[in-house]
Amino acid sequence: MTKVAVANGDGIGPEIMGAVLSIFKAAKVPLEFEFVDMGKWVFDKGYSNGMTPEAQQTIESLGILFKGPMETPKGKGVKSVNVTARKTWNTYANKRTFQTLHGVDTVFSKAGIPIDITIVRENIEDTYGGIEHMLTHDVALSRRFITRPGSLQVIKYAFEMAKKKGAKRITCGHKANIMKLTDGLFLDVFYEVAKEYPSLKSDDVIVDDLCMKLVSRPDLFDVVVLTNLQGDIVSDLCAGLVGGLGFAPSANIGDHISIFEAVHGTAPDIAGKNIANPTALLLSGFGMLRHLGLMEAATIIENALLYTLESGVHTGDFGDKTIPSLSTTEFADAIIGNFGKEPDNNPKPFIADQEPTPTSFKLEKNPMLESMELSRVSIVGVDMFVESNLQPTIIAEKCLNHTADIFKLVTISNRGTQVWPKGSSFTNLVNQYCCRFESLGGEAVTQVDIMELYKRLSHDFKICSTELLNRWGDRKAYSLAQGQ
C-alpha cells in the first residue's frame, strides 16, 4: 500500500477532494492517504509559507502530494503557497494535458477538430523567482533568471515524456527574437537535446505566433515546451480550447517530489454548496496514479469518467442545460456506477501496472546544478544603473569625468533604448539610466577596478544597481541597447 500526502485545499477544495477520493476508494486503488495542513487557513495561523512544518516533513518523506486549489491571502506580503511548494521541492516540469472531452462542448468539438496537446512548462525559474526591487520611486525591476541546468532538466523531461507518449512533434515556444540571451539560452538547450531524439520532429515557434496558431489550428500541435511565464499563459489558453480550467489537469514533476493538483480557483462563492465540478482534480489524479505505476486503476476510472461525460451527465458549470445537473457527490457516484464501461469515442487502452516512479529519497545536502564552463570568462566592463532626471548629454558629461585610464563610456540607455551618443528627443525618459562602461581595448578588468569606478561615480549619482559585462572567450555575454 503506497502512502501519499493529501492537502484538501481552500474553498471548494475539500468537496472536490472528497469526491475524488471516494472514487479512488470505490475502485479499490491501493493508496493510503495522509492529510497535511496547507492553504490560506495555515497562512492565517502565522505560517508564512502556507504549510506547517509537519506538513513539509510528511511531504518530503512520502514524495507525492495530491492537493486541491489553494488561496494566497491578499495584501499580506506572503508568497503563493502553490509557487512556494513547486519551487521548494524543485518540481521543475509542469505537465498539463489538454484533450477533447466528448460531452464538454467547445468551438472545436462542434467543428470536429480533435485536440490532444501536452504543455510542458518550466516551473522554477524565469520571473517566478519574484526577485523585485524599486530602483527609484518611478522604476521597478524584476530579475528574470533562465539557467542552462534548469532548462536542461525540463527540456529533457519533455522529450522523454513525448517519446513515451508516442508523440510525433515537439515544439519550443519562445521569445528569443527579443530576449536573445535568456530565451536564446532556453532555445539553444532545446536543440542540443533534440539531437538525442532524431525520431521526433523538433521545431520552434515565437510565442505570440504560437498563441495565434493554437486558437486557429490546435490540432497541429502535440507537445509544446516553454519557459515559466510564457508556459503559464499558454497553459491557460489551452485550457480554454477544451472547456476551461475545470477540465485541465496539472502535474508538477521533480526528481524527488511530485505534486498533482487542480489549478483552477477556490471558488469561495460556491464553497460548501456541493455543486463544484471535480473533473480537473480527478484528471490530475489519473496522472498521479500513472506516476505511481497504477495503470489499470487509472484506465478503469478514466474510461468511466469519459463514458459519464459522453452520456451527458454534468455538474452545473457545463453540459446540456436541458439535462438536470448533478451535485458534486452525485457526479462522483455516477462515475463509480460506470466502472467497467468505455466511451464510444477514444477509450483509454488497458495497460498493465508498471514499476512506479521512485518517490522516496533522503538528501543530506542541496543538489548543485552546474554545467561545464566551455571557455574562459573575463570581465570587460560594467553597466551602472543610475538615478537621475537630467538630460542624457549631462549624464554623459558627468560619466566621462570618471572614466580614468581603464574604461570608456560606450552608451547610455533609458528603459533599454539608447539615448547617447545617438538618440532622439522624441524618446520619453524615466529617472533611471543605464550607463555602459567597457574596458579600453576589450582587456579584462577586475572587480576592484569596477568598485573604484563605482566610488567615483557615486559622487555624482545614486547608483541603483550594477551588472558585470562578462565575456566567454570571444563571445559577449550581454545584450545591446535598442538602437545601439
Percentage, residues of the chain above pLDDT 70: 98
Give the mean pLDDT of the chain.
94
Question: Which residue's entry shows cell 550581454?
Answer: 478
pLDDT digit string, tens, across residues 4-22: 999 999 999 999 999 999 9
What's the pTM value of the predicted model, to 2 decimals? 0.92
Residues of the chain with CATH 3.30.70.1570: 377-476
Q: Is residue 358 pLDDT above 70, yes or no?
A: no
Q: What is the mean pLDDT of residues 27-47?
A: 92
Residues of the chain with CATH 3.40.718.10: 1-90+268-371, 93-253
Query: With bands split at pLDDT 50, 70 and 90, how would you rate the model's confidence at 75?
Result: low
Q: What is the pLDDT at residue 360?
A: 57
Domain 1-90+268-371 in CATH: superfamily?
Answer: Isopropylmalate Dehydrogenase (3.40.718.10)
Q: Does domain 377-476 have CATH number 3.30.70.1570?
A: yes
Beta bridge partners of 34: 5
pLDDT digit string, tens, across residues 419-460: 999 999 999 999 999 999 999 988 999 999 999 999 999 999
CATH number assigned to the domain covering 93-253:
3.40.718.10
Q: Is residue 314 pLDDT above 90, yes or no?
A: yes
* Three-state secondary structure readout of the chain: CEEEEEECCCCCHHHHHHHHHHHHHHCCCCEEEEECCECHHHHHCCCCCCECHHHHHHHHHHCEEEECCCCCCCCCCCCCHHHHHHHHCCCCEEEEEEECCCCCCCHHHHCCCCCEEEEEEECCCEHHHCCEEECCCCCEEECCECCHHHHHHHHHHHHHHHHHHCCCEEEEEECCCCCCCHHHHHHHHHHHHHCCCCCCEEEEEEHHHHHHHHHHCHHHCCEEEECHHHHHHHHHHHHHHCCCHHHCEEEEECCCCEEEEECCCCCCCCCCCCCCCCHHHHHHHHHHHHHCCCHHHHHHHHHHHHHHHHCCCCCCCCCCCCCCCCCHHHHHHHHHHCCCCCCCCCCCCCCCCCCCCCCCCCCCCCCCCCCCCCCCEEEEEEEEEEECCCCHHHHHHHHHCCCCCCEEEEEEEECCEEEECCCCCCCCCCCEEEEEEEEHHHCCECHHHHHHHHHHHCCCCEEEEEEEEEEECCEECCCCCECC
